[in-house]
Structure 1
Amino acid sequence: MHAQNVKNYYPPTSISVEEMVGDQRQFLQLIVSKDLSANKKTGLLSFTSYSAPYKSHSGNNEFQNTTLIHQHLFSGIGIQSGVSFIPTEGIKNFIGLQYFYQNKALTLIYLPSYYLKNNHKISNMALLEYQPVITKNWSLYTRVQMLYSHSQHSENPTKSYVYSRLGVTHKSISFGLAHNLDRQGAHSTIQNNYGLFIKI
């Protein structure tokens, strides 16, 4: 199995929006991918999410964003640098690597990063989507999206998560079962959220 030519990696602009209605919280995620050069070797990738409990306690709402610029080098491997915002950590700049692979059914993005100041955090972010075709207009939809963060200073709060989806895709709309697991802080406070999702 060989990686595709870099020109097939990203469409000129790709935007996906997902909403999850869970038993504990509501979750919204926006993913944007955009080419920044004619040869498609330079691009922008952005993950933005917002979650809130059903009870109106604004202090429990959570917003996070990771936006980066990536430069392809060879065989799906590239370099990347960007900015991340999480309320408990503030705005952090990072540098790292990127690996991208895609075929008709499988998409894989892996982003190991090093944060440059304060807590000198190391993070590993990955997204794996598998969508085998069932019929002309239907396909299975599975996705696992993960972030693991580790700070060299254990007293500093870090965020990690695993978001998993299992459902079907009809034309351009995906829907099904969802589970979000969030771990926050040095003392590993864990939140589980089970529900349904729709993604366009």
Structure 2
Amino acid sequence: MRIATTCTGPNVFAFCLALLAFFKLNAQAPEPPLPVEMLFGNDQFYFQVVIKKKFSPDSKFGFFSVATYSASYNQKIPQNSITIPAQFSYSLGKGFGIMAGMEINSVAGFSPIVGPQHNYTSKKVLAVTVASLFLNEDLDFKLFGLYEYKPPLNEKWTWYNRLQFIYNHNLKEGIHNRSYLYLRSGLKRKSLAFGLGANLDQIGPNKIFADNYGLFARWDFN
């Protein structure tokens, strides 16, 4: 696999801002918020933005992306990582759909992707599950999940919890590429959420473990 040299922090922000502007200009009715999160960990700074939008309120076509960027405090560039998926989906009903798009990351570079997805949303629960087949030389497979539980504590405050995971496997060679489990728990009031976070990663065929613990802050842009 090749190392992508153009995936830098400014590129993440530029990509996210362009998508935000596109969906803002095309929105015709109130849409789900666009959460932007930062985790100040003991080992790394972590940034994430989630975009989940329909092209119009009644459209079966939608867009989904979870763009992430991790940067080491010691400024060692090889330790930094970036992932930008862009998934265009078609709803089949009852939360199920199919998607096609692309993913850019700092290890494998660019790859087209296809696969099924499922979404469930309520006032207390958000559940997104996506299976991606990478149409690259290694024929990678990735399973992604993002699950939030937000029960109200009173009229103003909500208990915010999130579990987010990835498992990425090289089907051609039958080896583990990367997996992670990201956990968040804290308080939420209106658009602001904050609390404790943990990023637990396993990298490469030998599943080298890396952990990052700290405080997170998140803002839901409307």
For the criterion TM > 0.5, the same-fold answer is: yes
Distance 1:13 1:131 in 2: 15
Residue 8 of structure 2: aligned partner: none
Q: 1:46 aligns with which of 53, 65, 69?
A: 65
Q: Does 1:132 align with 2:151?
A: yes
Distance 2:164 2:151 in 1: 18
Q: Secondary structure at the match of 1:158?
A: strand
Residue 60 of structure 1: aligned partner: 79
Aligned pairs for 1:102-141 (under 5 A) are: 102-141=121-160
The CA deviation at 1:176 is 0.4
Q: Does 1:159 align with 2:178?
A: yes
Considering fraction of residues, name the structure with more strand: 1
Residue 16 of structure 2: aligned partner: none
Deviations 1:110-153 (A, max 9, x none): 00121122111111101000000111110100000111111123
Residue 78 of structure 1: aligned partner: 97
Deviations 1:149-170 (A, max 9, x none): 1112348772221111011101
Residue 51 of structure 2: aligned partner: 32
Judge which range, 24-33 or 155-164, deviates more: 155-164
Q: Which runs of 5+ in 2 are unaligned?
A: 1-28
Distance 1:42 1:63 in 2: 26
Deviations 1:20-45 (A, max 9, x none): 00111110111112221341321111
Judge which range, 165-174 or 10-19, deviates more: 10-19
Aligned length: 191
Root mean square deviation of aligned Cα = 1.7
CA contact (8 A) 1:145 1:163 kept: yes
The CA deviation at 1:74 is 1.4
Residue 201 of structure 2: aligned partner: 182
Q: Which runs of 5+ in 1 are unaligned?
A: 1-9
**What TM-score, normalized to structure 1?**
0.89
Residue 196 of structure 1: aligned partner: 215
Off by >4 Å, runs of 4+ in structure 1: none
Q: 2:115 aligns with which of 60, 80, 96?
A: 96
Distance 1:36 1:72 in 2: 12
Distance 1:157 1:77 in 2: 27
Q: Secondary structure at the match of 2:139?
A: coil
**What TM-score, normalized to structure 2?**
0.81
CA contact (8 A) 1:11 1:34 kept: no
Q: 1:16 aligns with which of 28, 35, 60?
A: 35
The CA deviation at 1:87 is 1.3
